[in-house]
Amino acid sequence: MLKTKNVSEVYDMSVYTDEGSFFGIVEESVLVDNKISGWKIKSTKGSVLNKMLGGAKGVIVPHQLVKSIDNIMIISRNAIPTIEEEEGAQATVEE
């Protein structure tokens, strides 16, 4: 059975990678034509984002990289931006 959630229930939810690393906190959703196209994930102290990006506020993760949403959000490890990715990055860095 498919379980549904209101978008507002996902705000402030913890986000983890499929490898089990804490990634950040859901700050907002990105809607395009009444569909979720991505999630703005806020960098927090102790998160993978904070360690990798330092001063960046967070990233926007495309919804296609979300694997599961229940009590936490699980995203694909492909959402983690790498230093080599300049253009065509899978996650967009917000400064």
Q: Which residues pair with 28 in a beta bridge?
A: 40
CATH of domain 7-79: 2.30.30.240
Per-residue pLDDT of the chain (95 residues; tens, 9 = 90+): 778 888 889 999 999 999 999 999 999 999 999 899 999 999 888 888 888 877 778 889 999 999 999 999 999 988 776 655 444 445 555 55
Using CA atoms, how far residue 59 sits from 2, 8, 28, 64, 79, in Å, is: 28, 19, 11, 15, 9
Entry pTM:
0.78
Q: Which residues pair with 39 in a beta bridge?
A: 29, 61
